[in-house]
């Protein structure tokens, strides 16, 4: 296992349970402390085997990090562990100052509100307009509302600005289901931004898109990481896409981190061990149980 560069964990929650302040340090990239800091994470579902074992991960502001690994290697589980959807057996998971293994009452909702998520199937409400879908990203701070008329004009203005940013403001009034896959994913990204997230998790966001759309969506996500200064963690199944569009690559195999390095130091041959067939390289050491 190639361990990622060690960095100080992000600070714990403030007394009010809010996010930790990031202070300047010598950590790369961007001389910032990590927004996400995972140490020695183990996850098992119920009484099943460990599906993550000894995972370390740091995510820094402004970086796009690609998560690679065969099906079942634990990519989605690692992402779920950052939003409290995966059972932490041991280790620590800190996100924006929250300690996911020891959350206080009400904090789980706060963590989830601060993480924008993008999925392979977009997860839009097809019969609602594009604009309304984006507005739902503000539900956590909009108070009691109804989906049709309850958002403030400030929310609407922001949603339209975000649609403009992702290039589909002209579709604002259309039903979401009438859009192409690439357009729907842009709506989903605008919805995630509507949350004003501190972190974006994108689980196979281009798996349903053609190559051209895939590049466009990954460009968009990387631009957001850089311009908004938030980390984006994106799981992918296509090595060249990861090599072209990410600053760092984390490779999971059998629930362990096998590769963790800056993309500029990696190429396809360095990533191939992540995908080595189980029946070729398996040994007792590979067993997680």
Interaction site with ligand ATP (CB under 6 A): 45, 48, 51, 69, 71-77
CA neighbours within 13 Å on the CB side: how many for 264?
1
Q: Least separation, in Å, of the C-beta of 77 and ligand ATP?
A: 3
Distances (CA, A) of 88 to 45, 266, 285: 9, 30, 22
What residue spans of 45-177 are helical by DSSP H?
75-81, 107-113, 130-135, 139-142, 153-165
Query: Rounded to the nearest 5 degrees, what angle is found at the Cα of 64, between the Cα atoms of 59 and 67?
Result: 80
The size of the chain, in residues, is 289
Stretch 58-87 residues interacting with Mg ion (CB under 5 A):
75-76
Q: Least separation, in Å, of the C-beta of 251 and ligand ATP?
A: 11
Rounded Cα distance, 173 and 229, in Å = 30
Work out whether 136 is an interface residue with Mg ion (CB under 5 A): no
Q: Which residue's CB is nearer to Mg ion, number 75 or number 158? A: 75
Give which of ligand ATP, Mg ion, none residue 84 binds (C-beta under 5 to 8 Å, depending on kind).
none
Q: Which residue's CB is nearer to ligand ATP, number 197 or number 255? A: 255
Q: Least separation, in Å, of the C-beta of 209 and ligand ATP?
A: 16
Q: Least separation, in Å, of the C-beta of 239 and ligand ATP?
A: 14
Q: Which residue's CB is nearer to ligand ATP, number 63 or number 203? A: 203
β-bridge mates for residue 188, sequence order: none
Q: Least separation, in Å, of the C-beta of 54 and Mg ion?
A: 20
For the purposes of burial, counting CB atoms within 10 Å of the CB of 259, is it exposed (0-12), middle (13-18) or buried (19 or more)? buried
Q: Which residue's CB is nearer to ligand ATP, number 25 or number 45? A: 45
Give which of ligand ATP, Mg ion, none residue 72 binds (C-beta under 5 to 8 Å, depending on kind).
ligand ATP
Q: Which residue's CB is nearer to ligand ATP, number 99 or number 203? A: 203
Give which of ligand ATP, Mg ion, none residue 51 binds (C-beta under 5 to 8 Å, depending on kind).
ligand ATP
* Backbone angles phi and psi of 181, in degrees to 5: -60, -45
Q: What is the SS3 assignment for 247?
A: coil
**Site of tokens 């898109």:** 209
DSSP, res 107: H
Q: Least separation, in Å, of the C-beta of 272 and ligand ATP?
A: 17
CB 151 within 8 A of CB 141: no
Q: Which residue's CB is nearer to ligand ATP, number 36 or number 168? A: 36
Q: Which residues are near Mg ion by CB under 5 A?
A: 75-76
């Amino acid at each position: 296992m190639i361990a990622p560069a060690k960095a100080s964990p992000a600070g714990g929650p403030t007394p009010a349970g809010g996010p930790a302040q990031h202070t300047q340090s010598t950590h790369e990239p961007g001389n910032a402390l990590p927004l996400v800091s995972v140490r020695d994470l183990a996850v098992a579902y119920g009484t099943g085997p460990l599906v993550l074992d000894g995972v370390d991960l740091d995510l820094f502001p402004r970086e796009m990090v690609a998560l690679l690994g065969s099906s079942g290697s634990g990519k989605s589980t690692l992402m779920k562990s950052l939003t409290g959807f995966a059972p932490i057996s041991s280790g620590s998971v800190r996100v924006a100052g929250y300690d996911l293994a020891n959350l206080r009452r009400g904090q789980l909702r706060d963590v989830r509100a601060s993480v924008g998520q993008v999925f392979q199937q977009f997860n839009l409400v097809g019969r609602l307009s594009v604009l309304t879908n984006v507005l739902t990203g503000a539900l956590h701070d909009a108070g009691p509302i109804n989906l049709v008329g309850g958002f403030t004009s400030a929310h609407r203005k922001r949603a339209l600005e975000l649609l403009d940013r992702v290039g589909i403001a002209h579709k604002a009034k259309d039903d979401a289901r009438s859009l192409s896959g690439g357009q729907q994913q842009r709506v989903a990204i605008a919805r995630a931004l509507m949350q004003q997230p501190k972190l974006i998790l994108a689980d196979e966001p281009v798996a349903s898109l053609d190559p051209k759309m895939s590049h466009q969506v990954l460009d968009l996500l990387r631009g957001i990481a850089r311009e908004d200064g938030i980390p984006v963690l994106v799981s992918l199944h296509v090595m060249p896409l990861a090599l072209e569009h990410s600053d760092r690559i984390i490779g999971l195999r059998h629930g362990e981190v096998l590769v963790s390095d800056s993309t500029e130091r990696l190429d396809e041959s360095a990533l191939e061990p992540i995908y080595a067939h189980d029946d070729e390289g398996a040994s007792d050491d590979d067993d997680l149980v």
